[in-house]
Structure 1
């Protein structure tokens, strides 16, 4: 899956604050994502993150 830094990910499951959109801060073996609503930063393994991605929104497209 082609995920880049700066992309917005819409996830299948929502964050406890109620938001489903996250900004990608770091890509590698782990993803570091930030909730767009509350600003909470989360690190999760690439496999788990890719499984939960519903849509990738790219700004430069």
Structure 2
């Protein structure tokens, strides 16, 4: 099961954030992943392997503009 995620994607995590959201936007990738809550805008940085384990699914891929 290979979950391919990219910068800017909206992902659903297994655990609910205290504000009630499960949706997070990926804002930085590297050895650690920085994600931002889609409701309260809280930013959290977690290790990549923990992120991959706790991510349920990709809700929305980052849209790229190819018309230009």
Cα-Cα RMSD = 1.4
Equivalent runs, 1:11-22 vs 2, <5 Å: 11-22=13-24
Consecutive unaligned residues of structure 1, counting only runs of 5 or more, are none
Q: The residue matched to 1:25 in structure 2 has which SS?
A: strand
Number of residue pairs matched?
61
CA distance in 2, matches of 1:26, 1:20: 18
Q: The residue matched to 1:49 in structure 2 has which SS?
A: helix
The structure number with the bigger radius of gyration is 2
* Counterpart selection for 2:27 from 19, 25, 28: 25
Q: Please, what TM-score do these two structures have when normalized by structure 2?
A: 0.82
The answer to whether the 8 Å contact 2:33/2:45 transfers is yes
